[in-house]
A = this chain, B = another copy of it.
Amino acid sequence: MDPVRIAAVGVGRWANVLADAYTPSPDVQLVTCYNRSPEKGQAFAQKYGCEYSDSLEALLQRDDIEGVIVTVPNDHHASVIEQVARAGKHVYVEKPIAVDLQEALLIERVVNETGITFMCGHSARRLGGLRKMKEMKNSGALGQVSTVEAVFSNERGLELKPGDWRGNPEKSPGGPLTQLGVHQIDNMQYLMGPVKQVFTMGKPMYTKVSNSTVLQTLVEFEDGTMGYLGTNWACPGSFTFNMYGTTANLFYELDFGWWSNSDVTDEHSSLLKVEFEHLSDDPDNRTLAKGPVQFSRTNHLRDEIEEFAQAIRGEAVVEVGARAAVLNVAVVLAGVRSNQENRPVEIQEILEG
């Protein structure tokens, strides 16, 4: 495949992590970049051996750029993506697609109107362990699944200072529910299908900011199964995903400290299966066996950028497009509204405005 010629727009920390993952790929060629602060943009260009464009307009006028990797601040996603898409370039955007439903829906509309290839970077579902869970659920290896439990937590809320954008409920609704939880919300909808209803309890705890930093959420999926999501910004890191079925349970754990090193993320994860070792009519005479499940290693960040490139060439279909990304944000916003109003909130209510 002829490499897809791409540009990076926004060159903060995450742009570097992504470039580390995709620049070794034969499917893409990083041609140029743009950043509001030219110094940082030029440093990025030097680091990755690409050009630097003086303006987004100049970058978008180039005929040789096919796709754009958008990693500008979340609240600028919509305006930048609209500009890029109207210029006929394909778009990859980091998660979340937006933190405001109207902006998320605007992006979806622009994507549909322009017909560009669009991907939102919900890469967690590409982890080897998550892929294996999906395969096992679909094959019936767990019997019938009833519930899941996901946790994604870390200590970031303890260090937030007044004025930090993550401490601002407008820029980061629900704090860790947006920043961390949306990863697990995508995993939940990937594994269990669409969420129907959400109930969230949350508040600021042990922090200097007014935004909620500790939240617990229950979800009911459209198929009637249920889930729990823990998002806590006031504790050492934790990333787990449990699934309970009638014949077996699965327990996935990831040391998220290795998230950015996508070539070895899977090496720092484990998947355990618990099932009956000995079944008997007497419930007191049953024993359980617990053992590791092997799974194929992936490179969650490189894999998704390669899929993006292949989709541009018509050789793949994007797995997480605008609709899936909008629905992930809708679950976050349902949780935020639920927490504000102390009542369960349906996703449909959020989508209707």
Is B244 touching A238 in the complex (CB atoms < 8 A)?
yes
Q: CB of A353 within 8 A of chain B? A: no
Interface pick from A113-121, A213-221, A319-327: A213-221
Q: CB of A235 within 8 A of chain B? A: yes
Cβ-defined partner of A230 (8 Å) among B225, B228, B257, B288? B228
CA of A230 to CA of B144 in the docked complex: distance in angstroms?
Answer: 17
Is A246 touching B288 in the complex (CB atoms < 8 A)?
no
* A127-181 interface with B by 8 A CB criterion: 144, 146-147, 149, 151, 153-156, 158-159
CA of A146 to CA of B238 in the docked complex: distance in angstroms?
Answer: 14
Is A257 touching B228 in the complex (CB atoms < 8 A)?
no
Residue of B nearest to A344 (CB): B342
Interface pick from A54-62, A69-77, A247-255, A302-310: A247-255
Is A146 touching B232 in the complex (CB atoms < 8 A)?
yes
Is A214 touching B147 in the complex (CB atoms < 8 A)?
yes
Residue of B nearest to A276 (CB): B236
Interface size of A by CB at 8 A reads 56
* A6-20 interface with B by 8 A CB criterion: 13
Top 5 nearest A-B pairs by Cβ distance? A235-B244, A146-B214, A146-B234, A146-B205, A201-B218
Residues on A lying within 8 angstroms of B by beta carbon are 13, 144, 146-147, 149, 151, 153-156, 158-159, 197, 199, 201-203, 205-206, 214, 216-218, 220, 224-228, 230, 232, 234-238, 244-249, 255, 257, 260, 274-276, 283-284, 286-288, 342-344
17 CB-based A-B contacts, threshold 8 Å? A13-B284, A144-B206, A146-B205, A146-B232, A147-B214, A154-B283, A155-B246, A158-B246, A201-B218, A216-B218, A232-B244, A235-B248, A235-B249, A236-B248, A237-B288, A257-B286, A342-B344
